[in-house]
Amino acid sequence: MSYPLPENEARRLDALRRYNILDSLGEAAYDDITKLAAHICEVPIALVSLVDSDRQWFKSHHGLAVSETPRELAFCAHAILQPTEVMVVKDAAADQRFSTNPLVTGELGIRFYAGAPLVTHGGEAVGTLCVIDRQPRELDPQQTEALRVLSRQVVSLLELRRLLAREERNAEMQQTKIDYLSAIGAAAQDLKVFLDRDYVCRYANETYLRYWRKRRDQVVGKHVAEMMGEATFTEKLKPLLDRALAGEEVELEMPFDFPGVGKRQVAVGYAPAYNGAGVAIGVVGRIHDIHHLKQVEEQLQASVVRLEKNVVQQQQFIHILSHDLREPANTIVNFSTLMLDEHAPQLDADAQKFLRFIAAGGKRMKLLLDDLLIYTRMEKAEEGQSEVALDEMMEEVVADLGDMIARYRATVAFSGLPTVRGQRSRLRLLLQNLVANGIKFHRPDILPTVHVEAVPHVALWDLRVADNGIGIEAQHLENIFKIFTRLHSRHRFEGTGIGLAICQKIAEAHGGKIWAESVVGQGTVFHVPLLPSYSY
Ligand code: ADP
């Protein structure tokens, strides 16, 4: 046996499913309607039947102890074909659609059927309110109309059920949201609070309650003045909250004495909270405990001060020492030289040799002290900046290094050097050191050549001092700028290991960093970035 399908069957089933009513428990409201329908129509049986894909299921049944039947037996499966009509079968035995239906021929013996479709707002007939009798009969127009009215009441009940379910779902979601919020709030390290436009607290997280040692009901729903005292509210907090309500994000640091954790330095932030229409509905307050941060900062600050003091003391010590040692060093050099010059004939060869060692050692000592003095001076107050014409400066440097250039038969080339902005005497020292090193660290078989040039690089001049000397291995390219670093014995190359440390200080004082690139056996290029003269 088959049953007819309405045109909108898929939509109809969808609508039915949305009510989520199939196989639900009985409800008095539906039962009352079926009872009323049976009573009005004067029949023993009335049903609220919902036509599912393969069955009709009765939400309510009066006078019939059956909860569902297969769809192919259902009279209602026919009634739903005409959603606007009440289908009336006066005598099923005489109707060819139903005359062989077991519900008619069998024990149940149905003869009369009238079904008013349950039509949703979308026009889908999801079932019927039907009345049934075991004998043929008719409905008068009032009864038919009453059946129609009651069927509409059933649909209202169904709609109500759907809306209620939706509300419940929303409430559930709302609850979940609140649960999330409190979970986030509880896990947060910051104190968080939401105050509405009337300065009444609407939300406070766990941390907030812990710091203030309060229960939620002592905070939420309370006015700020009530929690913090009238004076604190009016004088301190209200002005800040009002600024936030006016749209400003207010940030400040202040000490707080929290009953829960004691005195704390905190960073407070008040930000406006807006509703969907862009209206400020309150203020979100965030209090970040920076107590530990402050402590660390203070410790750090104290360490820096201590360190700075140490450094200054050390430098003063080195300065005084090198200054005071110059005198005895001079004495050693002067007298040992004098002895060699004036009394050499009276001295034997060994004594002369020892005196020469003393004189050379004294000279080295003087050199070291000179360099140390310069180095410590670099730490002191900065020299004023001025325009420095590097071309002219290089001429002075070449003149100063005249002896050395002649001794090593060196070539020092430069031309077209720019005017830069810098500290005159320090830049001169830098050039002198770099050019001198370029000559000193020459290869044994090659006459030293030093090129000084300046190449524009972004907004700077890249001052380059390039030589054709022994070069520096890559692993030492950084170390060489550390004080007292020397890569060779003093028998091979004289020096104190201070020159490049001085150069680094000078480069740093000019806002940059000296660096070198080199090919061992070919030469080295030192780079110093300098500001152009027009950059004020
Ligand atoms: P000093 O020249 O007094 O030894 P510096 O601080 O000027 O000290 O240089 C440190 C070391 O770097 C030198 O001892 C040398 O080994 C290396 N160095 C410096 N300049 C050059 C250069 N132009 N070529 C090769 N090596 C160099």
241, 245, 250, 256: CA torsion to nearest 10: 20
Both tokens assigned to 101: 């239906």
Output the residue whose Cα is nearest ligand 1's atom 20.
437
Residue 469 CA: nearest ligand 1 atom is 24
d(CA 398, CA 431): 10
> Does the Cβ of 477 fall within 6 Å of ligand 1?
no
Of the candidates 468, 461, 435, the one whose C-alpha atom is nearest the C-alpha of residue 530 is 461
Q: How far apart are CA 176 and CA 321, in angstroms?
A: 75
Rounded to the nearest angstrom, the gap between the alpha carbon of residue 104 and the centroid of all alpha carbons in its chain is: 74
Instruction: Specify whether the CB–CB gap between 340 and 360 falls below 8 A.
Output: no
CA of residue 202 to ligand 1 center, whole Å:
71
Any atom of ligand 1 within 6 Å of the Cβ of 448: no
Per DSSP, the residues of 352-405 read HHHHHHHHHHHHHHHHHHHHHHHHHHHHSSPPPPEEEEHHHHHHHHHHHTHHHH
Residue 497 CA to ligand 1 centre (angstroms): 7
CA of 372 relative to ligand 1 center, distance in Å: 16
Task: From first to last of the 536 residues of the chain, give the pLDDT tens digit.
Answer: 578 899 899 999 999 998 989 998 888 899 999 999 999 999 999 999 999 999 999 999 999 988 999 999 999 999 999 999 999 999 999 999 999 999 999 988 999 999 999 999 889 999 999 999 999 999 999 999 999 999 999 999 999 888 888 888 777 767 666 555 555 555 567 888 999 999 999 999 988 999 999 999 999 999 999 988 899 899 989 999 999 999 999 999 888 889 988 888 888 999 999 888 888 889 999 988 887 777 888 888 888 888 888 877 777 787 787 778 888 888 999 999 999 899 988 989 999 999 999 998 888 888 888 888 888 777 665 678 889 999 999 999 999 999 999 999 999 999 899 999 998 889 999 999 999 999 999 999 999 999 999 999 878 899 999 999 999 999 999 999 998 888 988 788 888 899 999 999 999 988 889 999 999 999 999 999 998 886 54
Length of the chain: 536
CB of 497 closer than 6 angstroms to any ligand 1 atom: yes
Atom of ligand 1 lying closest to residue 481 CA: 6
Distance between Cα 524 and ligand 1 center (Å)? 10
Residue nearest to atom 14 of ligand 1 (CA): 486
499 lines ligand 1 (CB under 6 A): yes
List Cβ neighbours of 290 (8 Å cut-off, separation of 6 or more): 253, 265, 266, 267
pTM above 0.85, yes or no: no
82 three-state secondary structure: coil
Nearest by Cα to 73 from 97, 50, 89, 91: 97
The CA distance from 507 to 430, in Å, is 8
Which one of 363, 431, 464, 480 would you pick to mutate in the ligand 1 pocket, going by the greatest count of ligand atoms within 8 A of its CB? 480
Q: Is the CB of 441 under 6 A from ligand 1?
A: yes
Cα 429 to averaged position of ligand 1 atoms, centre (Å): 15
Atom from ligand 1 closest to the CA of residue 486: 14
